[in-house]
């Protein structure tokens, strides 16, 4: 089953360091989403790509966050100068876009900032 | 921005009891509605979805949900729960005419006692 995969699954970093996460969507899916989820909350939208174009970005997303999807396949999410408040689960999801809005989620990357 | 409210944060039921989880959203225009489930140790997966047509939609594992436009609600139901239904349930809304963001509720933790 070639579902959505994310790497790494866990990341512990010190405050002030930069971290980068990778998401590999289902191969034929043209839409890719990043979410952040903290304990007791639902996923919070961060950004969305259609193919390689980043079409939407949450207003809540700090300038320290950047995402890319260079060839319309895998995507990376980078957090610069991490803060303790960045500790969360970062989820990636992909979908076929207008054919189906159903999003398939990956297992997530759990970030702990110490 | 849209918001999604799930008023039941924790629900505990005995097997064979009936289930209804509430979901209300704030947007008045066209919406796509979803229920996702997260079983312990697994990632989010789609339970059911509503785009248009019959407001009563059926999903996997005997779940169903009813879209009531006048009440801005999309409640999830199951007539007889099983121990294996123990999971976190998330309601989500997408307003396709305003963008591609998906808004999730805070989730309801369901525990089914054998």
CA angle B4, B104, A57 (to 5 degrees): 110
Summarize pLDDT for B57-108 with one digit per residue, the tens: 999 999 999 999 999 999 999 999 999 999 999 999 988 777 778 899 999 9
Distance in angstroms (rounded) separating the CA atoms of residues A31 and B96: 14
Closest residue in B to A35 (Cα–Cα):
B102
Q: Is the pLDDT of residue A100 over 70?
A: no
| Minimum distance, in Å, between the CA of residue B104 and any CA atom of chain A | 5
Structural domain spans, chain B:
4-113
What residues in A contact B3, CB-CB < 8 Å? Answer: none
Out of A32-36, A74-78, B94-98, which region has the weakest mean confidence (pLDDT)?
Answer: B94-98
Residue B15's region, left for phi above 0, alpha for psi from -120 to 50, else beta, is beta
Q: Could you tell me where the beta strands, DSSP code E, fall in A25-105?
A: 31-37, 44-50, 53-57, 65-68, 75-79, 88-95, 104-105
Closest residue in B to A100 (Cα–Cα):
B51
Summarize pLDDT for A54-73 with one digit per residue, the tens: 988 888 788 999 999 998 89
In percent, the amount of chain B with pLDDT more than 90 equals 80
What pLDDT is recorded for position A98? Answer: 62
Q: Residues B47, B59: contact at Cβ < 8 Å?
A: yes
A102–B contact, CB cutoff 8 A: yes
Fold assignment, B4-113 = Immunoglobulin-like (2.60.40)
């Amino acid at each position: 089953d070639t579902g959505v995969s994310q790497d790494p699954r866990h990341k512990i970093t010190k405050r002030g360091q930069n971290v980068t996460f990778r998401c590999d969507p289902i191969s034929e899916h043209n839409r890719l989403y990043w979410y952040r989820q903290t304990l007791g909350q639902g996923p919070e939208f961060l950004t969305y790509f259609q193919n390689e174009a980043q079409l939407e970005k949450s207003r809540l997303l700090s300038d320290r966050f950047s995402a890319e999807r260079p060839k319309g396949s895998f995507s990376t999410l980078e957090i610069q100068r991490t803060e303790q408040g960045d500790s969360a689960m970062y989820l990636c999801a992909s979908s076929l876009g207008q054919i189906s809005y159903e999003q398939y989620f990956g297992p997530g990357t759990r970030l702990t900032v110490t | 921005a849209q918001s999604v409210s799930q008023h039941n944060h924790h629900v505990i039921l005995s097997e064979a009891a009936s289930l209804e989880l509430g979901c209300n959203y704030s947007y008045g225009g066209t919406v796509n509605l979803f229920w996702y489930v997260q079983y312990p140790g697994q990632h989010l997966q789609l339970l059911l979805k509503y785009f248009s047509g019959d407001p009563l939609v059926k999903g996997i594992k005997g779940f169903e949900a009813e879209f009531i436009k006048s009440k801005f609600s999309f409640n999830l139901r199951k007539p007889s729960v099983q121990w294996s239904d123990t999971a976190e349930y998330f309601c989500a809304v997408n307003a396709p005419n305003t963008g591609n963001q998906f808004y999730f509720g805070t989730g309801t933790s369901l525990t089914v006692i054998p």
